[in-house]
Amino acid sequence: MHQLLQYALSGVTVGSIYAVVAIGFNLIYRTTGILNFAQGEFVMLGGMTAVSLAAFVPLPVAVAGAVGIVAVCGGAMEILLFRRLRSHSLLHMIVITIGLSIVVREAALHVWDEKVRSLPYFTGTECSSVRILGAAISPQVFWVLGTVGVVVLALHVFFRHTLTGKAMRACSSNPEAAMLSGINIRNVRTLTFTLSGALGALGGCVISPMAMTQYNMGTGLAIKGFAAAILGGLGNPMAGVAGGILVGLAESFSVSIMPAAYKDATAFAILLGALLVRPHGLFGSNGAEGAREL
């Protein structure tokens, strides 16, 4: 029984990071139509930057600093690259973001190195654990779940109740009308990238003590985050949370039926399966995003 609970908890924990990546994906997709494959790199950069900063400022400052820096990177990416490439087909855009993620990753390799790093546990150490229903849980898990929960809630409030949030929603559903209403679309797009960068970085910091941070962790995260986004229904940020948790749980429980070496393949299999069977996701409607042709 507490084996199951262990699996479930680790699944939800890692799933919530996939959820964060998925939210970032969906935000950018909704507002710009671009699938930003470099989303995973935001997570990696957040963790790496925080680790570097933590060497000389207190941990909370390091995390805040990392989030800020990566957020700026996200905005810079939009201004320098994506803004100029608006006229390209979406397929071109995704290939460009793949190239971008490779470049960012290699740059990270040269700035830091291939060593695995991690932030210190936010509370306690790697040995501390809390016992719940017979399962041993690291306090960091509560940090992860708590952070993601707060993020989801904050985003919900942001989109529903603030002017900027509503402006972003307007841009995603009808850019022309939004422009005519006086909303500055270009700024909204920059803001979307900045926000996605911040979210990714936050996720990277909070998962770093448990899952480690390494220069090449971004690719796998991007794909798993994409799997989560597709599973929930592309374009729907909140459904991405559900998708992320499901992917995390599936991955976690897969070790009970498959050799552990194939664990990573589970998320990819979900991605493939979702795309081939139900591309509009569990919560999307058929034909809404036009995933299939003819």
Partner 1 sequence: MKKTPVVPVGIVAAVLAALQLLATAFGREYYLTELIMAAYYSVVVLGLCLLMGYAGQISLGHGGFFAIGGYTSAILTTRHLPWAAGTDWGGWLQRAGVLAARQDLYGTDMITVTPTAAFAAAMALTLAVSLLIGYPALRLKGHYLAMATLGFGLIVYRIVLGSEFAGAADGITSVPPWRITPGLVLSGRRAVRVANYYAAWGFALLVVLFLIHVTRSRVGRALRSIHGGETAANAMGIHTAGYKLKAFVISALLTAAAGCCLTHYNGGIWPSEAGALKSVRYVALVAAGGMANLWGVLVISTVLTFLSLRGCFGTFDHAVFGIILIAIISLAPQGPLKPVAAWLRAAGRALRGGRAGDFAGARTHHA
Among 12, 20, 21, 35, which residue interacts with partner 1 (rule: CB under 8 A)? 35
Q: Under a CB-based contact definition with an 8 Å cutoff, are residues 228 and 11 in contact?
A: no
Q: Under a CB-based contact definition with an 8 Å cutoff, are residues 71 and 204 in contact?
A: no
Among 14, 223, 246, 249, which residue interacts with partner 1 (rule: CB under 8 A)? 223
Q: Lay out the site mask for partner 1 across 144-183 (x = CB under 8 A, - = otherwise).
A: ----------------------------------------
Residue closer to partner 1, measured from CB, 60 or 99? 99
Determine if 212 is a binding residue for partner 1 (CB under 8 A): no
- CA 56 to chain centroid, in Å, comes to 27
Q: In this structure, is the dihedral angle defined by the CA atoms of residues 76, 78, 82 and 84, taken in order, positive or negative?
A: negative
Determine if 219 is a binding residue for partner 1 (CB under 8 A): yes
Exposure string of 45-83, with b = 16+ CB inside 10 Å and e = fewer, is bbbbbbbbbbeeeeeeebbbbbbebbbebbbebbeeebe
Contacts with partner 1 in 104-143 (CB under 8 A)?
105-107, 109-110
Residue closer to partner 1, measured from CB, 107 or 153? 107
Q: Supply angle C-alpha 279, 224, 83, rounded to 5.
A: 80
The number of residues in the chain equals 294
Q: Please tell me the count of residues contacting partner 1 according to CB under 8 A.
A: 46
Residue numbers at the binding site for partner 1 (CB under 8 A): 35, 81, 84-85, 88-92, 94-96, 98-103, 105-107, 109-110, 219, 223, 226-227, 230, 259, 261-262, 264-265, 268-269, 271-272, 275-277, 279, 290-294
